[in-house]
Amino acid sequence: MVSNICFSCCNIRLCEIFNTIQEEDGYFGKINILLFGDLLQLQPVGEASFADIPKEKQLELFGSLSIENLWIKLFSYDELTQNVTQQEDPAYANALSEIPLGILSESSEQLLNSKVIKFDAVSMSKCLDELANYVMNQPNHCICLFPTRAQCAALNAAVLSKLNDTKITLKAVDKITAKDQNAAKRKLQRLSDENKSSFTGGLEGEIDIKVGGKVMLQRNI
């Protein structure tokens, strides 16, 4: 989802590019905008989706108190009712439709339980090893989802360790721009921290690769 703040920034930037700021109907540079999304998905990080931007936020971010709620002013709502992505698997499609509403049927619950991966190991390290073996036996387009980046990195490392080839470490070359020396020092300190990816949009300082291994670049947007 896109917050009203991010949405307003997109509008202002397009108006600047196409010089439509002074025009009454110059929203988004007079470009036709069609939005798609799932209203049941997660809210924007730290912001509400359709709520008006508080006056103090408007003044702080835009230097103005006249930022409109673009969602409400410009867009009308319509709903797509036909599931095209999972049309060849209606049972799975029904389960995906039920989960966000919290009304999981017995048949959908049985379907999801049949997909549970069971481990023989007890310790976390052994479970991770089993999971890595399981993933490597899946088709190349198989995707694993994790609640945290650390868990994702752990599985990536476990899978990489099973490839019989020399590991190569690629290190990023960081460039810093700052208005003065003190600001530059603060940025350098951030890049030296263990959680430096928090200040680089999620990009890691180094990645390990091997021949035949997939490369994953995680980028926060």
Mean pLDDT in consecutive groups of 10 residues from the start of the chain, 221 residues: 86 94 93 86 73 86 85 89 84 89 93 90 89 90 84 91 92 82 82 66 81 75 54
105: alpha, beta or left? (left if phi > 0; alpha if psi -120 to 50)? beta
- pLDDT by residue (tens digit) across 153-177? 899 999 999 999 999 999 888 788 8
